[in-house]
A and B are shown apart, each in its own frame.
Chain A
Amino acid sequence: MLLWQTSQTINFAQGEFVMLPAFFVLAAMKFGGLSFPMAMLAGFAVSLLVLGLLFKRLVVEPVIRHGVLPLVISTIALAILMKEGVKEFYAADAQPFPAAWATTNLQVAGMVVSVQNLVIIAVAALAVAALQYFLAGTRTGRSMQATAQNPALARVLGIPVGRMVLYTFLINAGLVALASFLVSPIYLAKFTNGETLGLVAFVAAIVGGFNQVRGAIAGGLLLGVVDNFVAAYLSAQYRAAIPLFLLIAVILLRPQGLLGRAEERTV
């Protein structure tokens, strides 16, 4: 969504972007002999380089000038390349991914609360808060917003548009690495993980509103809650259909998304 706002990049490899950092960490441990914390740092750095800088330089920049559709197709191809690359060069089967936190449970008023879940919620909330602060509370963040709203005018005002766009790609890479480190201990690291994650992320962004950070967060929360309630109390068999029902309903009734704002474009 950040990428879309700043550079009109629709990334259909976003799910694979979440899958890959976990394998960077595993590879750093297996082939580099690094400890888990060091491997996480290395994985984060490689993610910034590969999924941020190289993605922008080697995929987006050469293709975007030909329009959004070629870029969409390129990112679909990239997704396949990443998936098959992991399958071919690392493993086709799922791999255990260590948790960087305790996997014990707490007993609170007769309820079992997983420490792992608490950590995930806390880290996700912190990441969102930090992102919001960065975008709204810092000079660089406001420059990025200006770039997203009107790149030509931003350039006239002296904002280094190219650098702002690069920051967006790096932030995206950092966020997917963080997401990867959070979900892989639960879902295990597997080359196909991106298929499910990518679909859910897209549906959440569209349901919430593609042009609002808070919309994507609300969409993700709504989707997660509805999915789990349906599976637990209605029908586990039809749970996969629920996100798609939501998507269709939103597109028909509120195309800008629940919290998004309508945009007009000259065609």
Chain B
Amino acid sequence: MMKSFIAISLALGAAGASAQQTVNMPIVIELSGAGAVSGTNFRDGAVLAIEEINAKGGILKRKINAPQADTQSNPGISRAQVQKAIDGDPYVILGPVFSGSVKANMALAQQAEVPQIVGAEAAEITQAGNPYIFRTSFGQQMSMPKIANYLRDGLKARTVAVLWVNNDFGKGGRDTFVKEMAARNIKVVSDVSTESGQMDFAADVVKLKGANADAIFVYTNEEESARFLREARKQGIDKPLIGETTLLGQKVIDLAGPAANGARGHVGLSADAPVPAVLAFKEKFSKRFGYVPDHNGIKGYTGVYAVKYATEKIGRFDRKLLAKTLHGLTIKPEQEPGILMETTWDNNGDIDRISFLAEVVEGKQRIVQTLPKLGSGK
């Protein structure tokens, strides 16, 4: 009897010790559906960072356990997956990328007081007063003014046509963009909404072509951007096609082929950025997963390292304190090489760091200019 008691006690002790050696960081992400490209990149970036950190002993000697859940790019499913992740007592939740999904599930993480590191860019996500939400890339309110300045100063555009995807990401971006155009006296002469997952862009391109604007701003998700670029090339559009990371990302270039050449715009993050740490990341990622990452890969990777740095700074696993610490925090590559570029989070969870103007040349994204950070944090 005594032997059994000792054996059970030892077994329970071992199980407890094993549980103590890991920290739970579930990845709730788009692995299928319209957001599969973005989600897979984000997931793989996060997995790469987690493997590196675990290989070096983990965070505060605890290895990261990162179960993955597919939102299927569906806000309703993402909500259920986040709830499931919360039931597992996570330290942080990584993802999703789609703004519509983040808007649907971020209240759950907030109620549970779990920091959520997301890849979403819709402006309103960080404007809802949620102290547990943190971006890994620019929100639209940061990126659109940069694009607007480029249209005004770089292209000298007086008129512009807009093609956008009718989801939370696209609508938020379109609204911010139109506002920025009005502030610079650039006239929006055509405003074309498209559907998420749309396959045929023939009619949309006819419409844009007919508008005869000085430039066309394209704000759709990656796969739709590639289909649009192919159709635009087919119909011989010769106006500058301007966009954000979702137009100039490597996956879009791979999908669109030669039709992507000539597309240009602003990229908040780029695996082709002329930053040695980013290029080294790109090489590691490509070697590990067999494909070239897009900006979402960097989001997942740097998001994990931000959590590592902030946790080691506070010296213990405390979700509330982690969220508090991340607000206003600046992480420099000298302090944490995994952050790749100096990054600051403001009190809303919005991010600030250098960004880039890019152009697709011969099937590659080429950075033509580096834009500085807007400000600095503590």
Contact = CB atoms under 8 A, between A and B. Distances in A.
Contacts of A240: 195
Contact of B231 (A92, A186, A191, A229): A186
A200 to B, nearest CB: 10
A94 B197 CA distance: 10
A236 B226 contact: no
Interface residues of B, number: 36
Please classify the interface of chain B as helix (H, G, I), strand (E, B), loop, or mixed, using the class held by over half of its residues: helix
B191 to A, nearest CB: 10
Interface string B162-201: 0000100000000000000000000000001111010110
Interface string A215-256: 000000000000111111000110110000000000000000
B376 interface: no
B36 A112 contact: no
A95 B194 CA distance: 21
A113 B129 CA distance: 52
Q: What interface size band does chain A fall in? A: 20 to 34
Contact of B37 (A93, A232, A236, A239): A93
Nearest to B226: A188
Given A94-B37, A186-B227, A231 B234 contact: no
Nearest to A192: B197
B192 A186 contact: no
Interface string B227-269: 1001101111000000000000001001111110000000000
A83 to B, nearest CB: 10
A138 B230 CA distance: 41
A10 to B, nearest CB: 24
B124 interface: no
Given A93-B37, A103-B259, 20 more contacts: A92-B33, A92-B36, A93-B40, A94-B223, A94-B226, A94-B255, A186-B200, A186-B227, A187-B199, A187-B200, A187-B227, A188-B226, A188-B255, A192-B197, A227-B203, A231-B207, A232-B207, A232-B210, A236-B193, A239-B203
6 contacts: A93-B251, A105-B234, A114-B234, A116-B234, A228-B203, A237-B193
